[in-house]
């Protein structure tokens, strides 16, 4: 199964979406969040699983768990509006849970866009917010155009550098269309970190356009590159466009910059190179949410119709290979979502081991949520954790 | 001399910027534009030359000439606001000169942003508008964040297709900073068409990530690919990210889509695949201009200071090669601008031949503008025109 930025492990156990949802909600309540907050966090994580973006779904639970344990994520922090105009707001997240801060900010942007036609809400002092595309989907579900971005930990090595300053910095964009909206969400690095981890686990050399080592030269050894990144020895992942201007590296570098400027510079927060990973201190993550009401251009229904026709033209284009279909952005995710909602989620055994550890920490009965699990196939202990 | 998307010809003649400016202004007046309009068109073209983006400077005069001759560009058309809200406008360009329509739209967006905090002006039925970055510079010079994009003729082959539907669709973004603003302007294709023309003239094979032929397979033969594009036989240039999802082709395809949606779908105009190149009919080009006043996030000066510090951190990052400096976007252009303004412009002999032809058509004395020119070195007649 091909996944986006996920860790591929063949050994999996099957659960219904309801089982996973119940586990997540109860776990977040046990961590100290309210029922409503736990539901909000869960719906963001679950959407990633439903969209088959495994790296940002239940697979990531352990990272939130560690951040909560380290007090990097402050459970009781509430987002505060520190500056506001009719079309804008600057929010201080006070190191709270990213999903809660980001959904608060997006709701605010939608309300403001409904009144003014468009709005821009920017956030500082947040934490990882899950998939950026969740928030553009919120806008799109409200009939709006949604744009979201975020800073992350430094991992992108910009053109001619050997040191990571920018993050993976995803850009998400959604706009209503039938039968499915245009829904784009992608890191501005050529690949997310998870792809390097997959290559490492599969013992495959990295694609030469993906990463550079501490000398700034392309390096195909996943273990070496990941160690460099983790120990902040230099090197990292390249921007989309690879390592030379000839293939457009300066473009990916530019897209990554736009994310930093819209999120960290507008909000007065930390750019990716100033994010921290220390006990008791919030990560410093910044986000940006732009919402545009299509009615500011006239007839919103006619616009939706135009976009739907255009997306169909793209899908109907002549194929390079008759057997390989052409997709528009969000189509694969919509197909996954329908399938997984019916069929359930295959959770890999290492993630289950992590979920069981979370149960133990929180005093939850793991069997009640996950059943009897044979962990003898779990390899988490053997896998080098980056 | 390395240029962006330009045609590289060694034989050049040197002119001062004032000479080129005078030629352009007088030529556009002779075409029928007012003095003010001719000055506006010239300043856009000249900025491209000053920024060393030769493909969009005087080198492109001949294309405007042909479009005017063909009545694709309607000299007397005036942009019309067909829908408006305090934060937005939809403009019908009525097939006028792109530079005039786009600068009108940008001025309107700046005015609206000054009043409301942010604004989005979208345009349909325009023509080629020069460099997208001219319009973000207008916003930036007014202390604003500027975003501009445009549809173009179809030339991008999207992931798994063999037929071009999207255009080169540049995204431009500018934001005030010291000593120079952040100024990004790049096609969402891996390279612009001009790069293929340069490879062809130099007899070099194309980079394999650049283009596909009519079968949808990467093809390194520039002549073949350019002929395919010109005859609309299939094939074209790949999105930034190349030809496989492994190197991020779907990302470049997504960025190209965002441009179409913001410009053609919002304005109700023609997406790139419906642009036309027929006598008497406007190209149908669509643009989008988003302007944001930094004051909607608080202290604009503090924001400019934060961005300036961040840009310096990027320039000061450890270099992969100690001899290759790291640039932030807009820095190379600022350096070029200062140099070329002092030193003048080297215009290639084929462009001069075209300028002389324009003089003949308009009844201008070419010697008065360009001096005595020996055209025996001009190869325009021998160069296959795509």
Whose CA is closest to B196, among B207, B184, B185? B207
Per the domain annotation, does A28 fall within a domain? yes
Per the domain annotation, does A167 fall within a domain? yes
CA distance B335 to B340: 9
CB A180 within 8 A of CB A165: no
Residues 6+ apart with CB under 8 A from A145: A139, A173, A174, A175, A176, A291, A292, A293, A294, B261
CA distance B374 to A21: 78
Are B86 and A117 an interchain contact pair (Cβ–Cβ within 8 Å)? yes
CA distance A218 to A205: 12
Contacts of B158 in chain A (CB under 8 A): 314, 317, 326
Are B173 and A240 an interchain contact pair (Cβ–Cβ within 8 Å)? no
Q: In terms of domains, do B149 and B245 share one? A: yes
Residue B40 tokens read as: 């506006």
Four-residue CA torsion sign, B184, B185, B191, B196: negative
SS3 string, chain B, reads CCCCCCCCCCCEEEECHHHHHHHHHHHHHHHCCCHHHHHHHHHHHHHHHHCCCHHHCHHHHHHHHHHHHCCCCCCCCCCEEEEEECCEEEEECCCCCHHHHHHHHHHHHHHHHHHHCEEEEEEEEECCCCCHHHHHHHHHHCCCEEEEEECCCCCEECCCECCEEECCCCEEEEECCCCCCEEEEECCECCCHHHHHHHHHHCCCCCCCCEECCCCCECCCHHHHHHHHHCCCCCEECECCCCCHHHCHHHHHHHHHHHHHHHHHHHCCCCHHHCCCCCCCCCCEEEEEEEECHHHHCCHHHHHHHHHHHHHHHHCCCECCCCCCCCCCCHHHHHHHHHHHHHCEEEEHHHHHHHHHHHHHHCCCHHHHHCCCCHHHCCCCCCCCC
Residue A51 is predicted with a pLDDT of: 96
User: Which helix (DSSP H) or strand (DSSP E) does residue A340 occupy?
Assistant: helix A331-343
Beta partners for B13?
Answer: B347
Give the domain-ending residue among B297, B314, B330.
Answer: B297
Residues B228-238: tens digit of each pLDDT? 998 889 999 99
Per the domain annotation, does A302 fall within a domain? no
Residue A301 tokens read as: 């229904």
Pairing, β A182-186 against β A171-175: antiparallel
Specify burial of residue A14 (Cβ count, 10 A radius: 0-12, 13-18, 19+): exposed
Are A191 and B118 an interchain contact pair (Cβ–Cβ within 8 Å)? no
Residue B357 tokens read as: 């032809």
Rounded mean pLDDT for each run of 10 residues along chain A, 386 residues in total: 44 93 97 98 96 87 91 96 98 97 98 98 97 98 98 96 96 98 98 86 89 95 92 94 94 98 97 85 93 98 98 97 97 97 92 93 96 79 44
Long-range contacts of A272-278 (CB under 8 A, 24+ apart): A272/A151, A272/A152, A272/A153, A272/A154, A272/A155, A272/A156, A272/A165, A272/A166, A272/A167, A272/A169, A273/A154, A273/A164, A273/A165, A273/A166, A273/B313, A275/A151, A275/A152, A275/A153, A275/A154, A275/A167, A277/A72, A277/A153, A278/A72
Q: In terms of domains, do B28 and B176 share one? A: no
Output Rg (C-alpha) for chain A, integer angstroms.
21
CB B315 within 8 A of CB B168: no
Q: In terms of domains, do B267 and B352 share one? A: no
Mutate to test the interface with B, among A145, A247, A316 (most CBs of B within 10 A): A247
Q: How many CB pairs under 8 A join A and B?
A: 231
CATH number, domain at B124?
Answer: 3.30.1370.60
Of A158, A258, A321, the CB nearest to B184: A258
Are B173 and A261 an interchain contact pair (Cβ–Cβ within 8 Å)? yes
Mutate to test the interface with A, among B248, B300, B305, B325 (most CBs of A within 10 A): B248
Per the domain annotation, does A133 fall within a domain? yes
Locate the chain B residue with the closest alpha carbon to A147: B258
Across all residues in chain B, what is the average pLDDT? Answer: 92
CA atoms lying within 13 Å on the CB side of residue A192 = 20
Q: In terms of domains, do B122 and B89 share one? A: yes
Of A160, A209, A260, the CB nearest to B321: A160
Q: In terms of domains, do B153 and B268 share one? A: yes
Q: In terms of domains, do A126 and A160 share one? A: yes
Contacts of A306 in chain B (CB under 8 A): 265, 268
Which of A98-107, B152-161, B277-286, B309-318 has the lowest average pLDDT? B277-286
CA dihedral (B92, B96, B101, B102) in degrees, to 10, reads 110
Quote the minimal CA–CA distance from A118 to chain B in Å. Answer: 7
Percent of chain B with pLDDT over 90: 82
CA of B5: how far to CAs of A250, A311, B195, in Å? 14, 29, 5
Q: In terms of domains, do B258 and B177 share one? A: yes
Q: In terms of domains, do A116 and A148 share one? A: yes
Q: In terms of domains, do A21 and A165 share one? A: no
Q: In terms of domains, do A41 and A87 share one? A: no
Q: pTM for the whole thing? A: 0.95
Locate the chain B residue with the closest alpha carbon to A324: B160
Q: In terms of domains, do A93 and A45 share one? A: no
Beta partners for B185?
Answer: B172
Beta partners for B15?
Answer: B345
Which of A131-135, A151-155, B6-10, B44-48 has the lowest average pLDDT? B6-10
Domain count across chain B: 2
Locate the chain B residue with the closest alpha carbon to A271: B310
Mutate to test the interface with A, among B217, B293, B310, B324 (most CBs of A within 10 A): B310
Per the domain annotation, does B150 fall within a domain? yes
Contacts of B173 in chain A (CB under 8 A): 254, 258, 261
Per the domain annotation, does A42 fall within a domain? yes
Length of chain A: 386
Are B162 and A318 an interchain contact pair (Cβ–Cβ within 8 Å)? yes
Whose CA is closest to B272, among B171, B168, B187? B168
Per the domain annotation, does A339 fall within a domain? no
Q: In terms of domains, do B245 and B170 share one? A: yes
Are A258 and B87 an interchain contact pair (Cβ–Cβ within 8 Å)? no
Domain span at residue B177 reads 81-190+238-297
Of A296, A307, A326, the CB nearest to B87: A296
For the beta carbon of residue B302, count every other beta carbon within 10 angstroms: 12
Per the domain annotation, does B75 fall within a domain? no
CB A286 within 8 A of CB A149: no
CATH number, domain at B357?
Answer: 1.10.1530.10
Of A271, A310, A329, the CB nearest to B265: A310
Residues B365-381: tens digit of each pLDDT? 999 999 999 888 776 54
Rounded to two decimals, the ipTM of the complex is 0.95
Residue A94 is predicted with a pLDDT of: 97
Locate the chain A residue with the closest alpha carbon to B314: A165
Contacts of B293 in chain A (CB under 8 A): none
Whose CA is closest to B260, among A143, A136, A182? A182
Whose CA is closest to B240, among A104, A45, A238? A238
User: Which helix (DSSP H) or strand (DSSP E) does residue A139 occupy?
Assistant: helix A132-141
CB B176 within 8 A of CB B140: yes
Whose CA is closest to A123, among A277, A282, A276, A254? A282
Are B240 and A250 an interchain contact pair (Cβ–Cβ within 8 Å)? no
């Amino acid at each position: 199964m091909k996944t986006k930025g996920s860790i591929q492990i063949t050994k999996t156990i099957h659960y219904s979406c309801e089982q996973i949802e119940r586990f997540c909600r109860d776990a977040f309540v046990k961590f100290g969040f309210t029922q409503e907050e736990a539901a909000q966090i869960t719906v963001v994580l679950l959407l990633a699983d439903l969209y088959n973006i495994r790296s940002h779904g239940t697979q990531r639970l352990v990272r939130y768990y560690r951040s909560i344990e380290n007090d990097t994520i402050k459970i009781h922090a509430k987002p505060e509006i520190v500056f506001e105009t009719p079309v804008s707001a600057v929010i201080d997240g006070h190191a709270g849970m990213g999903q809660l801060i980001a959904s608060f900010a997006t709701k605010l942007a939608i309300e403001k866009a409904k009144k003014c036609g468009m709005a821009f809400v920017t956030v500082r002092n947040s934490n990882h917010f899950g998939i950026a595309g969740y928030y553009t989907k919120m806008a799109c579900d409200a009939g709006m155009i949604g744009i979201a971005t975020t800073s992350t930990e430094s991992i992108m090595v910009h053109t001619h550098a050997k040191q990571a300053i920018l993050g993976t910095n995803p850009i998400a964009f959604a706009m209503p269309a039938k039968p499915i909206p245009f829904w784009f969400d992608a890191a501005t690095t050529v690949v997310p970190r998870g792809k390097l981890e997959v290559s490492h686990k599969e013992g495959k050399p990295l694609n030469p356009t993906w990463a550079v080592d501490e000398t700034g030269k392309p390096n195909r050894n996943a273990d070496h590159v990941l160690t460099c990144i983790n120990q902040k020895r230099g090197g990292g992942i390249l921007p989309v466009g690879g390592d030379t201007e000839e293939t457009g590296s300066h473009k990916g570098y530019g897209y990554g910059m736009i994310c930093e400027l819209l999120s960290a510079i507008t909000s007065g927060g930390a750019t990716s190179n100033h994010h921290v990973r220390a006990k008791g201190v919030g990560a410093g993550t910044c986000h940006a949410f732009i919402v545009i009401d299509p009615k500011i251009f006239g007839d919103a229904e006619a616009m939706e119709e135009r976009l739907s026709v255009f997306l169909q033209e793209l899908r109907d284009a002549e194929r390079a290979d008759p057997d390989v279909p052409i997709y528009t952005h969000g189509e694969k995710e919509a197909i996954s979502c329908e399938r997984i909602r019916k069929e359930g989620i295959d959770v890999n055994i290492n993630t289950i081991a992590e979920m069981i550890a979370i149960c133990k920490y929180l005093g939850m009965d793991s069997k009640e949520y996950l059943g009897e699990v044979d962990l003898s196939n779990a390899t988490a202990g053997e896998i080098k954790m980056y």
